[in-house]
Structure 1
Amino acid sequence: MRKPNVIVFGIDSLRRDFMSSYGYHRLTTPHIDKIASEGVLFENHFSPSIPTTPAYASMLTGMDCFGTDVVALRHQGGLGNHVKTLAEVLEDNGYNTTCVGFSNNPSSRGFQNYLDYEAWVADETGRCPKAENLNEVAIPELRRLNEEGKPFFLFLRHMDPHSPYLPPKPFERMFYDDDEKDPANDSMEPVYKFKPHADFLKSWIPEGVTDERYVTAQYEGAIAYMDVCIQNIFATVEDLGIEEETLIVITSDHGETLYEHDCYFDHHGMYDNCLVVPLIMKYPGKLPSGKRMKDETLIQDIMPTILDVMGIQTDIPFTGRNLVDVVNGKDLPQVSEFYITECTWMRKHGWRTPEWKLIQSLEPDFHFKPEIELYNLIKDPAENHNVAEREPEVVALLQKRMEDYIVRREAETGRINPIYTNVNYHGLGTGPFKSSEDAYNHLYLGSITNARKLQSK
C-alpha cells in the first residue's frame, strides 16, 4: 500500500481571526471552511518566533528557535546541519518533494524541486493574481507528482495575504463600498508619515487613498480571492481520486498587522495579531471530522504531527508535540506559556501566558516604543494598554520565567540564544541601534521590488 501524500498550504501572513472558519464576521474562507468541517481545526495555534524565516524553520523542522538557531528574517548562512527538515525526512522515506514559492530561503532546505511564481509585482491591471499564478505552476506539478506513482510532499507558499495586498476584481471591492479617497478621512496620514515604510506602501496603495479601511478590505479581499483559487487545488485532488490518501495541512508562518500598534500593514510587533495563526488538518480515517481543539498549540508541532499521520518514525528529539495524541485525548502536558521572539525590523523577545504578555526590547526600536511592555490579555486582548509601570511584580515574574527558560534551552542545545547574536538582523552591518531615532533614520523598506529582493535573501 502506498504511503499517504501530504500537501501543506503555508500561507504567508494569514491571520486566523480574519478567517470565517475561525469566526470572522465576513465570509472570507468558505472553501477552507469546508476542509475544516471535514478535519481538525486548532483554535489556539501560535507562531512564537516571527517573521517568515524563523517561523518556517520551526514549521519544517519541528524545533523551536533554540533548536533551529534561526530568529531573523535575514538569517545569516543556511539552516544548520544539526536539524533535519521535513522534506529531507520524507525523501529518505521514498517521497517525491516539491516546494512552490519558497526557493532561496534556508528554511526550505531539502526539496527535490523548486518552482516559483510572481507574487509581488502588479500586472497591467494594477493587480497581482498571486494565487492564480501559483496554480499555474502548482496544479501541473500536482498532477506530475501523482503520475510518478510515489508518495509526494507538495509545499505551497501562498502570498496573497502578504503585502502588497493586490487582489484582482471583484475581490478588491468585495468588502468595501465607500469612498476610499474621501478628503475628510485622514486615517492614512500616519501611515504615509512613517518614513521607513512609506515609500513601500505608496508603491502599491492607489494614489489618493485616505481611508485605512480600504487597505484593510484589500487584505480581506486577498484572503477571499486566495480561498477561491485554493479550491482549484482541492478540485484537482478530488479529480485525481487521491482525497482519501492525502493529508491536507493549512497553516501560516505568522499573522499581520493592519492598523494596530502603529505597525501598519506589515508583520512586525509581537502582538497577538502577528503570533496567532490557523492550523487545519484533514486526513480521512486517521484524523476525526469536524473536530475543534481548544488546546494551545505551536508551529513546531506541525512536523512531528505530519510524520505520525504518515506512519513515519524518526529518532529526532523534536521540541514540538505530536498533535495526533492531543486530538485523541491522551494525557499530555499542556502548553500554557511560551517564549516569543521577533527579529524583523525590531529585535525583541518576551514571554506569553494565558493572562499576560511581556515584550522586552533588546535595542531601541523605530516605533519609539518603551523597552518593556506588559499586557493583560484577559482584560485587554487587543493589547492597547501597557501596564508595565503599574505591575512591576508581574514584569519581574515573567522576566524570571523567560530568563530561566533561556538558560535551560541554551544548556540543552549548547548554543547561545540566537536573539542575542543576531545584531545585524537588518543587514546594515552597524550592530545594535543606540536610539530609536537611529533606527528610524536607517531602516528603510523601499519599493515592491526592493521588498521582494529582501524576501529572496
Structure 2
Amino acid sequence: MRILFLDLDSTSPDHLGCYGYHRNTSPNIDKIAEEGVRFTNYYTSDAPCAPSRTALMSGKFGIVNGLVGHGGTAGDMKLEGKSRELMGKLSRGGSLPTYLGLTGDLNTVLISPFAQRHSTFHFYAGFNEILNTGRYGNESAEHVTPVALDWIERNADQDNWFLYINYWDPHTPYRAPLDFGNPFAEEPLPAWLTEDVLERHKQMVGSHCANELNIDYQNKTYDNQRPAAFPRHPGEIQNMDDMREMIDGYDCGIRYMDEHLGRLFAALEKQGVMDDVIILISADHGENMGQLGIYGEHATADQGTCRIPMIIRWPGMKMGTVDDGLHYHLDLLPTFADMLNQPVYPDWQGRSYAPALRDGTDCGRDYLVVSQCAHVVQRSVRFGDWIYIRSYHDGFHLFDEEMLYNLAEDPKEQHNVAADNRSVCMEAVYYLNQWHDDMMRQNTDAVDPLWTVMQEGGPFHARGYLKGYIKRLEETGRGHLVPELVRRHPEEFPQERNPFLNQLQAKIGARMAGR
C-alpha cells in the first residue's frame, strides 16, 4: 500500500476548479478529483494551523487535546498526567502516522517544517523519516518539490509507505515568484466581490480587514504596510485594483503550487506506481477572501476558514463522485482503520466515512461544531443550510455576539440573520451545548481550553494589540469606533479598568517611598 497525503496550507475549496471556481487554478488537483471522491462539506474541527493539525494527528478535538491556540497554555497539548506510561499515547497508536506504522506496517515519512514553525513537536510522533524543508513555513513550492521528488525517485517503487507533504504557497503573504507571472490578469474577479461590497467592507475593523491587511508584530498593531519581501501581497484594499491584486495573489499561489503537484504526479508515473497510490488532497484550514469582511486570513470559526477541501482517490473504490455529507477532518483516522480492517484506537473521537469511499453511501453527521481561539475566540455550529457563530472574543472586529448565516442564500457570509431567526439560533445553541457536554465528559481534567485562552488575555494574535490599533484608528478617521472597542475589551487596559485599585496602588507606593 502506498499513500500520498498532500496538506496544502490555507487552500480554500472555493478557489479550486473542481469545487466550481471559475478560474483554472487547479488543473492537476481537478484531475485527481475526477478519479476519486470529492467531499463538499468537510471541516477542520479546530482552526487555524496548529489546532487543526493537532486535532488531525491526535484524532481528538481541541477541547479534549488542549491545543486550541498559538500561544499561552493553549499552545501546547494537555499532559497525559499520572496515567502516562513509558511511551505516551502518541507513540502507542494514538497519532495518525503511528497508527499507520503499527497496524499497516507502513514506512511513515514527513516533508514539512510545521513542527518547528509552531513548536508543535508532537506533530512528529510516529514518522520514521522527517525532512524539514527549513523555512518555518515560509517556503515556496520550489523549496518543497525537490525534496519530495528526491524521496519519490529513491523510494516510490517500494511497497508500504505513507508520505505526508506540506505546501505553503496559498498561505498569506502571497509568495509565488514574480517570474511566474499572472495567468489570471485578464480574468474576472469572483462576481460577488463588487464595489458596493468593498465599500461596506471598508467600514469594518480588525486584523486583515480591507484597511489593515498587515500585522505589525514589532509595534503590536495592525496596519496597511505592504510586506517588502512579498510584492504580490497588498497592505490594504481601497479600490477594485487592490481587490484584483489580492485575489490574483492568492489564486497565483494556488496555481503555482498546483503546477508543482503535477511534477510529483509525473514522477510517480515515471516510477510506474501512480495508478496504485492512494492520494489524499486536503488543507489545515481555508482562507477568508471577503467572508465576514476578512481577506487573506484564517481567523474565524466560519465557513471561509473552517471548510476545507478533501479529495480521496483510492484505487478500487468510488471514482468521480461527490459526497455532500458533513464530516470533520479528524474523521479520517477511523476511516483509515475501517478501510484497513483494523480496530479503531480507543481515544479517537472521529467517525468513519469509509462507506462513502466504498459505495457512495451517505454517512455524514447531523451537525458539526468548529472552533477558533488563535485570532478570535469563537465556536460555531454547522447544520442544514446554516452556520451559527458565537463570539467570546471578537479579535477587535466588533462582531455581534451571535451571528447566523444561511449558506444556501449567502455562502460568503455577508448578512447576519440571527435577529430574524431566533428559533434557528436556539436550535444551534442546543447542538452546541449537547456537543460541549459530550466533550467535557471525555475531558479528563474537566478544563475547557477556550476559557483558559480567555483568562490568559484573549487570543494570541489579538493579545496586546488594541492600544496600538486604537492609535491607528484615531489617525485614520475611525476614532468613533474606539469607545466600543475599549468597552468590549477592558482586559487590554488592566491599569485603567479599576480606578479604586489604581488609587490604592498609588497610596501604597507613596507610603513605601516615605519610609
TM range (shorter): 0.7 to 0.9
Q: Which of 295, 305, 330 is matched with 1:274 structurally? A: 305
1:125 corresponds in structure 2 to none
1:103 corresponds in structure 2 to 115
CA distance in structure 2 between the aligned counterparts of 1:309 and 1:7, rounded to whole angstroms: 16
Cα offsets for 1:373-397 (capped at 9, x unmatched):
1222333222211122333333233
Do the aligned partners of 1:44 and 1:276 also contact (CA within 8 Å) in 2? yes
User: What secondary structure sits across from 1:73 in the alignment?
Assistant: coil
Residue pairs, 1:129-140, within 5 angstroms: 130-140=140-150
| Greater radius of gyration (CA) | 2
Residue pairs, 1:234-249, within 5 angstroms: 234-249=265-280
Cα offsets for 1:412-444 (capped at 9, x unmatched):
3333332222334418988x99973486997xx
1:419 corresponds in structure 2 to 450
Residue pairs, 1:121-270, within 5 angstroms: 130-146=140-156, 149=158, 151-169=160-178, 171-177=180-186, 191-193=210-212, 196-198=221-223, 201-203=226-228, 204-205=230-231, 211-270=242-301
Cα offsets for 1:142-182 (capped at 9, x unmatched):
333447x452221111101111112124544111249x9xx
1:76 corresponds in structure 2 to 75
Over the aligned positions, Cα root-mean-square deviation in angstroms equals: 3.5
Do the aligned partners of 1:11 and 1:252 also contact (CA within 8 Å) in 2? yes
Q: Which of 293, 297, 318 is matched with 2:327 structurally? A: 297
Matched, 1:116 2:125: no
Q: Which of 383, 392, 406 is matched with 1:353 structurally? A: 383
Residue 20 (structure 1) shift: 0.5
Cα offsets for 1:330-360 (capped at 9, x unmatched):
8775312111211121111122212322211
Matched, 1:386 2:416: yes
CA distance in structure 2 between the aligned counterparts of 1:416 and 1:332, rounded to whole angstroms: 34
User: Per the alignment, do residues 108 and 371 of structure 1 end up closer, same or farther by CA in structure 2, a change over 3 Å counting?
Assistant: same
User: What secondary structure sits across from 1:302 in the alignment?
Assistant: helix
Cα offsets for 1:256-302 (capped at 9, x unmatched):
012332322111122211122111111212x2222222222221122
Match for 2:111: what amino acid? V
Q: Which of 7, 23, 28 is matched with 2:25 structurally? A: 28
User: What secondary structure sits across from 1:352 in the alignment?
Assistant: strand
CA distance in structure 1 between the aligned counterparts of 2:182 and 2:360, rounded to whole angstroms: 46
User: Per the alignment, do residues 388 and 201 of structure 1 end up closer, same or farther by CA in structure 2, a change over 3 Å counting?
Assistant: farther
Residue pairs, 1:260-339, within 5 angstroms: 260-285=291-316, 287-329=317-359, 334-339=364-369
- Tell me whether 230-239 or 92-101 shows the greater mean CA deviation: 92-101
Do the aligned partners of 1:339 and 1:350 also contact (CA within 8 Å) in 2? yes
1:455 corresponds in structure 2 to none
Matched, 1:18 2:15: yes
User: What secondary structure sits across from 2:419 in the alignment?
Assistant: coil
Do the aligned partners of 1:175 and 1:217 also contact (CA within 8 Å) in 2? yes
Residue 24 (structure 1) shift: 0.8
Do the aligned partners of 1:172 and 1:217 also contact (CA within 8 Å) in 2? no
CA distance in structure 2 between the aligned counterparts of 1:307 and 1:151, rounded to whole angstroms: 15
- Tell me whether 311-320 or 347-356 shows the greater mean CA deviation: 311-320
CA distance in structure 2 between the aligned counterparts of 1:403 and 1:201, rounded to whole angstroms: 42
Residue 250 (structure 1) shift: 0.4
CA distance in structure 2 between the aligned counterparts of 1:38 and 1:411, rounded to whole angstroms: 41
Do the aligned partners of 1:349 and 1:361 also contact (CA within 8 Å) in 2? yes
Residue 200 (structure 1) shift: 6.7
Normalising by structure 2, we get a TM-score of: 0.74
User: What secondary structure sits across from 2:39 in the alignment?
Assistant: strand
- Tell me whether 312-321 or 23-32 shows the greater mean CA deviation: 312-321
CA distance in structure 2 between the aligned counterparts of 1:330 and 1:316, rounded to whole angstroms: 26
Larger relative contact order, structure 1 or 2 (CA cutoff 8 Å, min sep 6): 1
Residue 364 (structure 1) shift: 4.3
Q: Provide structure 1 residue ranges, at least 5 long, that are not aligned to the other structure.
A: 123-127, 443-457
Do the aligned partners of 1:192 and 1:202 also contact (CA within 8 Å) in 2? no
- Tell me whether 78-87 or 267-276 shows the greater mean CA deviation: 78-87
CA distance in structure 1 between the aligned counterparts of 2:106 and 2:28, rounded to whole angstroms: 28
Residue 327 (structure 1) shift: 3.0
Do the aligned partners of 2:292 and 2:412 also contact (CA within 8 Å) in 1? no
CA distance in structure 2 between the aligned counterparts of 1:217 and 1:405, rounded to whole angstroms: 39
User: What secondary structure sits across from 2:167 in the alignment?
Assistant: coil
Match for 1:85: what amino acid? S
Residue 12 (structure 1) shift: 0.6
CA distance in structure 2 between the aligned counterparts of 1:312 and 1:69, rounded to whole angstroms: 27
- Tell me whether 58-67 or 273-282 shows the greater mean CA deviation: 58-67
CA distance in structure 2 between the aligned counterparts of 1:376 and 1:428, rounded to whole angstroms: 28
Do the aligned partners of 1:308 and 1:322 also contact (CA within 8 Å) in 2? yes
What percent of counterpart residues are identical? 23
User: Per the alignment, do residues 416 and 121 of structure 1 end up closer, same or farther by CA in structure 2, a change over 3 Å counting?
Assistant: closer
Do the aligned partners of 1:171 and 1:224 also contact (CA within 8 Å) in 2? no
- Tell me the number of residue pairs that the alignment of Structure 1 and Structure 2 aligns: 428
Do the aligned partners of 1:39 and 1:283 also contact (CA within 8 Å) in 2? yes
2:475 corresponds in structure 1 to none
